[in-house]
Amino acid sequence: MKYPKTLTNEELVKIWAKYIKKPMPNLRKSLLIRYITWYKQSYENKINPKYFFRRLAQAQKNLEQGKTDILQEKTFPEGSCFVRSYKGVQYKVEIVSNGYLYSSKTYKSLSAIAREITGKQWNGKVFFGVKNAK
């Protein structure tokens, strides 16, 4: 939804405070409306702006270094599971909003879970057979 340019400054301040929760910068009205629109869309689509900007900065850095793999990384939806058999035992890991759930404990990475299972350092994606898109 685009905001009309007929909004008053007071209305813009209220909308800014609702979606952005930071002091409103001194920018021209058309630019403020664009910022508000983007933050409103990210709020409605449950996109964390801090995470988005961090990933964007990392992608830019990687592009400058000639790497493109971060832009092609597969992401799996919440609730997806990875299953792996190791030494005759089957292990199941579920993707949750703040990481990976294994054995009723949340981990930040698949590598930490692989280390927990094997007692050795592993690349978690390799251990669970998760491949990046090419």
- pLDDT 10s digit of each residue in the chain, 134 long? 556 678 888 888 888 888 888 888 888 888 888 888 888 888 887 888 888 888 888 888 878 877 655 544 557 788 888 888 889 899 999 988 888 999 999 998 899 999 999 999 988 888 888 865 33
Q: Is there a single domain that holds both residue 59 and residue 14?
A: yes
Would you tell me how many other CB atoms lie within 10 Å of the CB of residue 122?
18
**59 and 21 belong to one structural domain:** yes
| 46: containing domain | 9-64
pLDDT of residue 33: 86
Res 118: pLDDT: 92
Contacts of range 77-81, beta carbons closer than 8 Å, 24 or more positions apart: none
Count of domains for the chain: 2
Instruction: Supply the angle between the helices 29-44 and 49-64 in degrees, to the nearest 10.
Output: 100
Residue 17 forms part of a structural domain: yes
Report pLDDT for 54. Answer: 86
